[in-house]
Every structure is written in structure tokens, then in C-alpha cells.
């Protein structure tokens, strides 16, 4: 089977992680002879591309994962650049797999997005969303009922391990600074967050090396502001990892003592490696994921007045119960693997039918 995989390829390390997870699953459960890829954020699926590339050269089109149901400024209200009337011109089966509904809490998808997603859902061989509450949000706003599958980022490793590159105990701090007004509410609140995180970083650096892990270029500044002047810290080399070396950065998550994460990718990847994670909540998907996995005691809202004290308590909780958390993660990952396997069994049945 020759597969064309379209997902986000030009902005965020985390999206590359999810792409790795999707390809791992495809190769594990399907008879794959080739996987090619194209950037869903830039590739227009016009009539020529559909007929001369998609239909002629491939047997299956895979869309996702990642939070691609997002962006009211996009022509179709989400990332897939295809005219609604052209969707039915795709003659090979296509699936939407493990995608996220990434609109912010105070946003709603535009009408053209609802119409386009309904058309995509109608013609797809399978349409699934990731297990971060996206299914509920899509059903409420769009009126379709997609399948819910584990985020493909949970399968970045599939049993593989990478060499540890740091010989001392370290903690990953993964912060997000794109769309700061959405994430923090105001620049004043962002400054308050920076000062409180500097207190956390100063305390942690006495026991651990701190590795700041920007996933997009805008994150670098925030990591610099928080780590500035604090000993025993470093910011990983974003320019090296982005984006052709994204796979190499996974080793940092695999061998960390624990992770403090402000992105869904930063939650998902460490859990895949059984590395404890504390989620810094600023988007519905953060709580949605931790709720799905029964891990709500390890989430802290960044806009709560008690943020600093809550984060200190949660860090202490993780340090004290680390062995139990790892055991819980192991059980979670076993269940997620079984759910993904079942999703692909159903997918194969549908494709064969």
C-alpha cells in the first residue's frame, strides 16, 4: 500500500512528533510499501493535485494527527486546503486520524468550517479525533460523532529507546509563547507567570539540571526570560532540532525525571515514555487529556491566583510518588496501545470492505 500522509510540517516540533507516531502505527498495522508526506498547512488540494498525484500515485490518503481543526482565518475554517466541492473527486480512500479540535474556549468554528468538516466526514473512510475532549467539543459545535482514538503522539516510541545524553538528573520545562493573549489573557499576566516560574526554576535548579524545551520559535524568548541568570539551566538548541532532527529531541523527554509542560505535545510525549508530567493548563485540551487519563491531580491552571503554591505542591507530589506514577503510566500506555490496535483493526476492516 502506497500512502500519502498530510499533516503540519513547518512550525512546531510537537507536530513532527505526532507525525512520527502516525507513521509508526501505519507501518505496524498496514501493509505499507511507501509513505510520502505533504504539508497540510501549505499544500492546496486542487483538481490537478488530486487527479495527477493523489488519485494516480497512492492507495490511501491519511490526514493528521495534530490540532488541525483550528483557525477561523483559514479558508475552510480548519487546515485542510481543499475546496469543499473537490473532496468527492478523491477516488482513493482517505482517513482523518487522531486530530484535535484546537479552537480556544472563547472561540467557535465558523459556519464554513462546520459545512466543510461535515463534507469531509461524509466522504472519509474513517474520521477520528484524539482523546483530549475533542470528540465532545466537535459533537457540540459541529454535530458529527467522530471516533475517539489515542493521540498518535502516544506511539512515538513503540518500544524503541534512545541514548541518554545528560549524565545528571534533569527536569524538562516546556513553555508556550505563541498566541500569548490567548494563553495568558494579557501581557501583564504573562509577566506575572514569568516571575512565578522563575521562583520555581530557581528552586528546582538546586536539585536538578533544568532543560527548557521550546517547541516553536516564539517559545525561545519565554524560556530565555525565565531561565535568565539561574544556574544549572539550559535551553535546548531549537535551531538544531527544528525540524529535520525532531526525532533526536525525544530522548530528552524519555530520560527526564519529570516534565512541566504547557502544550498538549509536551504532555503526551513524556507520558508515552512513562515520564511523569505536570500540565500547565491554558487550553481546554490540556484538562481534557488529563481527565481522559485520570491524571487531573497533575494539572495546574496558569491563571489561578494560587498558581505558584499549587505548582509547588504538585511538584512535591510528583517527586514523592514518582514510582507509583510510572506504574500508572505503564498501565495507561498498555490500554492506549490496545485501543489504537482496535482502531486499526476497524480501519482495516472498513478499507477492505
Total domain count, the chain: 2
Same domain, 217 and 297: yes
In this structure, is residue 260 part of a structural domain?
Answer: yes
In this structure, is residue 326 part of a structural domain?
Answer: no
Q: What is the CATH number of the domain that holds 286?
A: 3.40.50.2000
What is the SS3 assignment for 78? coil
Same domain, 230 and 119: no
Low-confidence ranges of the chain (pLDDT < 70): 159
Return the residue matching grid coordinates 490500554: 335
Same domain, 309 and 177: yes
Same domain, 59 and 107: yes
Same domain, 39 and 103: yes
Please count the other Cβ atoms lying within 10 Å of the Cβ belonging to residue 6.
26
Same domain, 41 and 93: yes
Contact (CB, 8 A) for 151 and 98: yes
Same domain, 266 and 232: yes
Closest CA to 69 of 125, 13, 128: 128
Same domain, 136 and 210: no
Same domain, 21 and 130: yes
pLDDT of residue 159: 64
In this structure, is residue 247 part of a structural domain?
Answer: yes
Tell me the per-residue pLDDT of 5-64, one tens digit each, with 9 for 90 and over. Answer: 999 998 999 999 999 999 999 999 999 999 999 999 999 999 999 999 999 999 999 999
In this structure, is residue 163 part of a structural domain?
Answer: no
Contact (CB, 8 A) for 54 and 4: yes
Angstrom distance (rounded) from CA 36 to CA 4: 5
Domain extent for 115: 2-155+335-352
Same domain, 89 and 147: yes
In DSSP notation, 104-148 reads -TT----HHHHHHHHHHHHH-SEEEEETTTHHHHHHHHH----EE
Average pLDDT over all residues of the chain: 96
Same domain, 184 and 308: yes
Same domain, 118 and 175: no
Amino acid at each position: 500500500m502506497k500512502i500519502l500522509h498530510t499533516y503540519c510540517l513547518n512550525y512546531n516540533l510537537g507536530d513532527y512528533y505526532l507525525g512520527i507516531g502516525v507513521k509508526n502505527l501505519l507501518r505496524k498495522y498496514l501493509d505499507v510499501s511507501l509513505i510520502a508526506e505533504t504539508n497540510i498547512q501549505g499544500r492546496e488540494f486542487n483538481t490537478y493535485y488530486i487527479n495527477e498525484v493523489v488519485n494516480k500515485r497512492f492507495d490511501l490518503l491519511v490526514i493528521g494527527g495534530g490540532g488541525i481543526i483550528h483557525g477561523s482565518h483559514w479558508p475552510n475554517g480548519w487546515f485542510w486546503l481543499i475546496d469543499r466541492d473537490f473532496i468527492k473527486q478523491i477516488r482513493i480512500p482517505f482517513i482523518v486520524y487522531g486530530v484535535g479540535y484546537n479552537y480556544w474556549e472563547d472561540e467557535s468554528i465558523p459556519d464554513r468550517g462546520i459545512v466543510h468538516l461535515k463534507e469531509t466526514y461524509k466522504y472519509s473512510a474513517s474520521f477520528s479525533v484524539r482523546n483530549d475532549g475533542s470528540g465532545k467539543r466537535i459533537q457540540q459545535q459541529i454535530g458529527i460523532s467522530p471516533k475517539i482514538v489515542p493521540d498518535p503522539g502516544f506511539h512515538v516510541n513503540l518500544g524503541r529507546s534512545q541514548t541518554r545524553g545528560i549524565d545528571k538528573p534533569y527536569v524538562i520545562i516546556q513553555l508556550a509563547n505563541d498566541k500569548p493573549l490567548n494563553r495568558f489573557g494579557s501581557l501583564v499576566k504573562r509577566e506575572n507567570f514569568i516571575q512565578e516560574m522563575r521562583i520555581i526554576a530557581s528552586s528546582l535548579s538546586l536539585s536538578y539540571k533544568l532543560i527548557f524545551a521550546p517547541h516553536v520559535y516564539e517559545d525561545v524568548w519565554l524560556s530565555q526570560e525565565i531561565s535568565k541568570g539561574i544556574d544549572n539551566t539550559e535551553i535546548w538548541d531549537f535551531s538544531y532540532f527544528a525540524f529535520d532532527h525532531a526525532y533526536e529531541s525525544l530522548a530528552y523527554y524519555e530520560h527526564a525525571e519529570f516534565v512541566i509542560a504547557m502544550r498538549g505535545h509536551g504532555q503526551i510525549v513524556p507520558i508515552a515514555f512513562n515520564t511523569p508530567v505536570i500540565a500547565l493548563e491554558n487550553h481546554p485540551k490540556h484538562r481534557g487529556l488529563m481527565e481522559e487519563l485520570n491524571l487531573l491531580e497533575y494539572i495546574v491552571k496558569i491563571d489561578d491566583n494560587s498558581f505558584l503554591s499549587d505548582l509547588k505542591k504538585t511538584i512535591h507530589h510528583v517527586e514523592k510518588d514518582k514510582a507509583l506514577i510510572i506504574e500508572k503510566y505503564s498501565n495507561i500506555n498498555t490500554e492506549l496501545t490496545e485501543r489504537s490496535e482496535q482502531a486499526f483493526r476497524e480501519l482495516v476492516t472498513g478499507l477492505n470492505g
